[in-house]
Amino acid sequence: MTHQKSKKTKAIILAAGTSTRLRPLTEDLPKCLLPLNKDAIIDHQIRCLERFAVDHVLVVAGYKRVLLQEHIANVETSLPISIVNNELFDQTDNAFSLSLALDHIDASNDTVLVLDADILFELALLKELIETPYDNACIIDNSKDAQPEDCKVVVTNNTAARIGKRVPGNVVYTSMIKLSTDFLKAFTRALKEPRTQPEWYSEPLNRLLMKHPSTLHVIYTNGLLRCEIDTYEDLLYARALYQQIKKHEK
């Protein structure tokens, strides 16, 4: 008798980058450990993931890895958390980091949540992503006008037709995505393809979407709170936003 493996939900947090735009704050600290109040950015993400049936969290570390490892070891959580080391963090982008984490995923049985370590979000957004009936979905922000530096999404029939900084979309990708089944397998292969220069994972994802349209369902933020933290101004905004998010969670 053969036994089918039970499906598991695993989360990947991409936290290897050097975050030069936030210096001097990040000269001695990885961005995800910057405080929102007494909580670091990554603490909020872990606490949100803990609220759902997530089986394992993989944190991809690189810059100031030891500090991040020590912090994770002291986080009070019931979630199993492993560190994946990107030794080439200063030569690669998050496509390479994600490919390293996916080496620890069983694409035949696992559903994967991918989060950048520098995003703040309301718990309800993660709930929408995890509980959507679609195998593959991403969250897009329709509350603000897209800027040239944003990763944008072209939406067709409630699916992502294109994604990337250079696509002419008018909604912003939130760096929150769920992948599974054959699309996850194809994306894993795409990340392993030879590249002549570093890439964000949105680039191989965009090439894949052009081959497999109508695969990645979109979920709109519709007023739910979130932000990305790239600059000091973003950090100040995130700290104020975090107070609102904490009130919503009570």
Tens digits of pLDDT across the chain (250 residues): 344 466 889 999 999 988 888 888 889 899 999 999 889 999 999 999 999 989 999 999 999 999 999 999 999 898 999 999 999 988 888 999 999 999 999 888 899 999 999 999 999 999 999 999 999 999 999 888 888 888 999 999 999 999 998 888 889 999 999 999 899 999 999 998 888 888 899 999 999 999 998 899 999 999 899 999 999 999 999 999 999 988 777 6
- Domain hosting 177: range is 8-249
| Helix, coil or strand: residue 56 | strand
Q: Which residues pair with 137 in a beta bridge?
A: 178, 217
Any idea what the CATH number is for the domain that residue 70 is in? 3.90.550.10
- Based on the structure, what is the number of domains in the chain? 1
Residue 242 lies in a domain: yes
Whether 193 and 203 have beta carbons less than 8 Å apart is answered as no
Whether 16 and 224 have beta carbons less than 8 Å apart is answered as no
Residue 216 lies in a domain: yes
Residue 38 lies in a domain: yes
Residue 64 lies in a domain: yes
| Helix, coil or strand: residue 248 | helix
The length of the chain, given as a count of residues: 250
pTM here is 0.92
Q: What is residue 80's predicted lDDT score, i.e. its pLDDT?
A: 94
Residue 3 lies in a domain: no
Residue 132 lies in a domain: yes
Q: Residue 156: name the closest of 132, 135, 140, 144 by CA.
A: 140
Residue 2 lies in a domain: no
Dig out the tokens for 52 from the structure.
């759902």
